[in-house]
Structure 1
């Protein structure tokens, strides 16, 4: 699964690099070393592929009775996207999105202990996870936009740490994932593990499972990898 990740870059920098507009909410969003479920984070949706907005991490389907369901839907398995009633309509109806990140965290079991790792790309400072998004209306009529990160089987680097990993898209795949004219079944072919030789992983001392941990830069502590 992918339950914690980071995006420490100022979105103004991203706006200039990627030629994206920022929504008003995105303009006020603060970079985070530890994005946790329910928190707001940057996304680009298929509805407005030239706009970066901020949605809540953890998908809340439009039919949900309570937004707390989002804590159980932070991830969507690529292998069953077109089988699950919560996700199939989003894939088919182009409710697809890109989730901005610069790294993600995962925990390796070592006996009774779990060692946290930070994983990033060797050749790209920022990248996008493949995601799905939805809009939910609360009892007061307020719109709550949210998303889920798609996961897949691990590559050779990640399988030493965990049995799942988020789907990271290449630049060309990002365009295809948002393209409304793509056949949903063809899109499933994009949801593979990113090449292991283009990724890096190292142990970190702080436990990213604590969402209060967000004032520490994991880049400062590295080990051999």
Structure 2
């Protein structure tokens, strides 16, 4: 699954990487998020159905189906299983209508249960490039106010062998060559598969991540000392740390 991720780059950086032209699609104002959590407004790349142009939009994490009576259930709809996304009532309309999106991220967090509590790990691409997380978006109109709320969910698949010691599920991470097909093809379910483990790196981080109140670049720093070594042993092997940690976050 995916319950927290990092989205700290400026909108213009994600726009350039994911093919959004700021001259035709104005960019949103968005703060850096080092511990992005459900119900927050986060950046997502969507394809305009009329023009075909890509837009970078702010959407709320936690999909609210168009038929919902209120928006309260969105916090429970943060992930959608790729195996059933085309059939499940909450998601099938968005899937059929190609309301698909790419959620850019520098990495995401996953947890391993221990006797002393949950130990978080940070996962990112080994080459340091932004992740392209596959998502769905939906529009919901508040019957009381007439205001539209646009929300999203992240698709998940079975975990690859590298991440399986942490959780049986992982977010669908699309390679660059599959992004256009995911956004535009009628039925791109064949693309919804685990990214190979060799394309990812991970390391244990501070349990400060466990609280959504904490939101700083230091959350991505590798856990050091005996505590860090003990966390690595939970995976049965070694994990990699970043080669540089700056005020702006992890850099390759």
TM-score (normalizing by structure 2): 0.82
Match of 1:151 in 2: 156
Residue 201 (structure 1) aligns with? 202
Aligned residue in 2 for 1:12: 12
Aligned position for 2:103: 99
Equivalent residue for 1:137, pick from 138, 141, 144? 141
- Asked whether the equivalents of residues 49 and 178 of structure 1 are also in contact (C-alpha less than 8 Å), the reply is no
Change (3 A) 1:69 1:49: farther
Q: TM-score, normalising length from structure 1? A: 0.91
Q: Pick 1 or 2: higher relative contact order, CA cutoff 8 A, min separation 6.
A: 1
Higher Rg of the two aligned structures: 2
Q: Where do residues 56-205 of structure 1 align in structure 2 (5 Å cutoff)? A: 56-111=60-115, 113-138=117-142, 139-179=144-184, 182-184=185-187, 187-205=188-206
- Given that residues 3 and 36 in structure 1 are in contact (C-alpha distance below 8 angstroms), is that contact kept between their aligned partners in structure 2? yes
Encode CA deviations 1:14-70: one digit per residue, 9 max, x unaligned.
Answer: 33344414565x431111001111101110113254211110000011111121211
**Superposed CA RMSD:** 1.7
Q: Counterparts of 1:18 and 1:83 in 2: how far apart (Å)?
A: 28
Secondary structure, counterpart of 1:123 in structure 2: coil
Deviation at residue 83 of structure 1 after TM alignment = 2.2
1:215 aligns with 2:245: no
User: In the TM superposition, what is the alpha-carbon distance from 1:11 to its structure 2 partner?
Assistant: 1.4
Q: Please report how far the alpha carbon of residue 112 of structure 1 lies from its aligned counterpart in structure 2 after TM superposition.
A: 5.5
Asked if the contact 1:12–1:27 (Cα under 8 Å) also holds between the matched residues in 2, the reply is no
How many residue pairs were aligned? 220
